[in-house]
Structure 1
């Protein structure tokens, strides 16, 4: 497989710095066994009992469900490791674990649900709003575009192929709206929005600021609905995250332009502003820019970091539903940070060059990665072809910078 060959390549085996205790998001008591009580409580067994409960040769870690192992593995340098033995299990759990609770996620402009599994894992469910072959209408503003479930799935795999590993794992899933949402929700506001359409399909629309109305209802066939299931990050009470406004944020206004669109020397200003004035923060932001340009995501207004690690850590690439909306146009303005700053990590540049070669063609790698998803094919072919074309434009932009 091309994917296996890619991950064996030396550029995908550059070691990360040694992870010390202070570089881990969580320091775990090695004796605390994870256990699910029949009483339904989610307390942990006290460590004194744990030793007697563990089978010989097993560590407490072995008792953790995949989602908890994912949380415990997060460190200053990566959200998950390159050769993560956990990933197949985690993706399978997202796609197959029984859903015991579904409630609306508050905040955000479009409808999303938080789904809970019997092992206390949780996922963010984004329902299907567009078919694979629909493109965002050219007269739509980026801020009124739909959020696409398949973009969330594809973004996770693309981010991994680029070796960023900054998007939490996502799997597609076919959900039964009746049994897995309507019949089990404790969310009264959500429950009130269910109805049967004239065609006899089960529909709902929830409560949110965009597209939550009878006209924009989400309908099953007759009650089956596709969606993306993203592993949730640790609760903010356990691992605080800081939200940063992107310096290249768009105006979110129909006629106003943002400063970076008017000032060609904007990057010089950014370079003098913390946290971009030292460390690798600006280069990390340019990595994110490359990811966004490849998938056509114009909606990157903020990014997050784990507070524990200060400024010296990776950026979380969350909320990618507005990617992959159009394959026939390339939005060059997304590349503004790269073009204005003329900076990119050497390792990123070398990997991008590799992904433009025939044995490691980006579209082939993403097609292979997405083929294992329960909702395959996740992307229409023109979107995969657009990736190779856009990669060429990123490399051309770097080439122009080098020629300066």
Structure 2
């Protein structure tokens, strides 16, 4: 196991000083290297970091993770005969076949990947520099990354995909792509801290938005939610898990991933009054605008999101290996290339999204770290709606509902309730009634920030203000001091929220993202929030209503604290 730690140290040196592995003694020359290292032997949790995007072209020993740039890594991986035997299959005549390097569990009829167990024995704080062990802060919140990853595809999947590409005369090259430690998505993951998804002034976010906008896609697939629904949709349910939208996972040339939500509704269209919130369209421009508003409010709880025109033929059809996704493409009567979700209640052409004829507008939201690397909890919102045609939840009929919530841990102490009210203010501004759950990182404890995910049902009706979204604020009559000060600032004429949003959204490639009525609705809704807070202050006093958003003395401070929920 010592060699495993040495390998971690070697990669740390590489991350701190590119090319830093040159001239070092290969770790495999030391005795005792285990062929199947794992974290349980080290007395740690067996956390994994297996992003499936870390794949390179099969058939080259040095192709894996760009090993031409890691001269000592082949020696580490192939330093013992026992490990070498497990990595190599043989021809029928007994000769080694380098093109058959697969996992022992990967039989010729299966398509699996060889995975050398990663070791998250390195942790990096949210600062821009990577610390040495001597200056590490044990109390600083950290998101770990693995030491190294080896993923080699079985040839079968490549042969099948090659035949498919030849049949359709597709020409996108299967290029060899190295993993760069300075990749913007990786730096974004390393910058996550207890305060938010990214620092207040973060050049990494700007670079990540630019990369998602410009980088070419190397693969496309359905999201995990829609994969789980294939052939298993219950059409008797009122609320369909995927609604009437379609989303895809796109991978880029730097191994980064983003969630692509295509345009389903034009900007000038407003959600009909008769629509229930749980069957509303999911709007790509709402995801983009929500990210900008979240950043203006200084919450920093929405993943970076950018708009982009996607060529559905070259950037989805030609790069996907999902045969189901390949099968749902068709050409419309208007000669536009379209595709739809493969689901019993969705596999109809009327639910399809179409290019013009190939270009399709959509939003790209950066992926968060893997759940194996940075676990998250999905928790029901105490102010969840009924999601039925005629039912009501308790908070909708009981004005004293907040008193009940305050008696339940973790809302009885700490910042959780204050964060819920922040989320309600954010949702009211964008008009999102669909916040049935919220997520948070377990590593930051009970008082970690709440993630504001899935905002595509916002900005649907600019002519209507749904004040019931503000129920947590009006019933609990409490708000963070920093949030209160920020809202007052954005109500000043020189910092008017609509003006700041308009200027911020001009940076997006799909500008204008919001129509003018939606921007003006932000100012109107902001005034309603300020009026509600002032009413609470008049009733209970400012000292009781405006709370200092600081961590109480008894709150957990360890970055490894786990939620008991």
Aligned partners of 1:180 and 1:195: how far apart in 2? 15
After superposition, the C-alpha distances for 1:210-231 in whole angstroms (9 at most, x for unaligned) are 6552111101100110000001
Query: In the alignment, which of 362, 372, 380 is matched to residue 515 of structure 2?
Result: 380
Instruction: Specify the SS of the correspondent of 1:386.
Output: helix
Instruction: Specify the SS of the correspondent of 1:86.
Output: helix
Residue 156 of structure 1 is matched in structure 2 by 291
What is the root-mean-square deviation of aligned Cα atoms in Å? 2.4
- Quickly say closer, same or farther: Cα 1:216–1:41, change in 2 above 3 A: same
Aligned partners of 1:326 and 1:103: how far apart in 2? 31
Residue 534 of structure 2 is matched in structure 1 by 399
Instruction: Specify the SS of the correspondent of 2:64.
Output: coil
- Quickly say closer, same or farther: Cα 1:340–1:229, change in 2 above 3 A: same
8 A contact 1:264–1:340 mirrored in 2 = yes
Runs of 4+ aligned structure 1 residues displaced above 6 Å come to 34-38, 43-49, 59-62
- Quickly say closer, same or farther: Cα 1:237–1:383, change in 2 above 3 A: same
Q: How does 1:256-271 map to 2 (within 5 A)?
A: 256-271=391-406
Residue 285 of structure 1 is matched in structure 2 by 420
Aligned partners of 1:28 and 1:366: how far apart in 2? 45
Q: How does 1:180-259 map to 2 (within 5 A)?
A: 180-208=315-343, 211-259=346-394
Residue 326 of structure 1 is matched in structure 2 by 461
Residue 31 of structure 1 is matched in structure 2 by 13
Query: In the alignment, which of 190, 193, 202 is matched to residue 75 of structure 1?
Result: 193
8 A contact 1:189–1:206 mirrored in 2 = no
Q: Say if 2:211 is the partner of 1:93.
A: yes
After superposition, the C-alpha distances for 1:365-387 in whole angstroms (9 at most, x for unaligned) are 11111101010000011000000
Aligned partners of 2:256 and 2:471: how far apart in 1? 38
After superposition, the C-alpha distances for 1:184-235 in whole angstroms (9 at most, x for unaligned) are 1111111111110011100101225765521111011001100000010001
Aligned partners of 2:10 and 2:302: how far apart in 1? 23
Residue 343 of structure 1 is matched in structure 2 by 478
After superposition, the C-alpha distances for 1:243-277 in whole angstroms (9 at most, x for unaligned) are 11000000110100111101111000001111111
8 A contact 1:111–1:212 mirrored in 2 = no
Aligned partners of 1:116 and 1:143: how far apart in 2? 29
After superposition, the C-alpha distances for 1:379-403 in whole angstroms (9 at most, x for unaligned) are 0110000000000000001011111
8 A contact 1:28–1:72 mirrored in 2 = no
- Quickly say closer, same or farther: Cα 1:96–1:181, change in 2 above 3 A: same
Query: In the alignment, which of 438, 453, 468 is matched to residue 303 of structure 1?
Result: 438
Query: In the alignment, which of 200, 203, 222 is matched to residue 104 of structure 1?
Result: 222
Report the TM-score when normalising by structure 2.
0.63
- Structure 1 window deviating more from structure 2 (176-185 vs 212-221): it is 212-221
Q: How does 1:36-47 map to 2 (within 5 A)?
A: 39=60, 40-42=63-65
8 A contact 1:31–1:60 mirrored in 2 = no
CA drift at 1:86? 1.4
Where relative contact order (Cα < 8 A, 6+ residues apart) is larger, the structure is 1
- Quickly say closer, same or farther: Cα 1:225–1:284, change in 2 above 3 A: same
Q: How many residues align?
A: 370
Aligned partners of 1:328 and 1:32: how far apart in 2? 55
After superposition, the C-alpha distances for 1:296-355 in whole angstroms (9 at most, x for unaligned) are 000000010111112021001011000001100000010000000001001101110000
Aligned partners of 1:319 and 1:210: how far apart in 2? 21
Residue 126 of structure 1 is matched in structure 2 by 261
Aligned partners of 1:312 and 1:47: how far apart in 2? 44
Instruction: Specify the SS of the correspondent of 2:363.
Output: strand
5+ residue gaps, structure 2, are 1-8, 20-53, 74-128, 132-179, 226-240, 540-565
Question: Quick check: which has more Rg, 1 or 2?
Answer: 2
Residue 24 of structure 1 is matched in structure 2 by none
8 A contact 1:259–1:266 mirrored in 2 = yes
- Structure 1 window deviating more from structure 2 (287-296 vs 37-46): it is 37-46
Query: In the alignment, which of 181, 184, 192 is matched to residue 66 of structure 1?
Result: 184
Q: Say if 2:314 is the partner of 1:179.
A: yes
After superposition, the C-alpha distances for 1:1-59 in whole angstroms (9 at most, x for unaligned) are xxxxxxxxxxxxxxxxxxxxxxxxxx99742438997755338877978xxxxxxxxx8
- Quickly say closer, same or farther: Cα 1:190–1:63, change in 2 above 3 A: closer
- Quickly say closer, same or farther: Cα 1:251–1:189, change in 2 above 3 A: same
- Structure 1 window deviating more from structure 2 (39-48 vs 285-294): it is 39-48
Instruction: Specify the SS of the correspondent of 2:65.
Output: coil
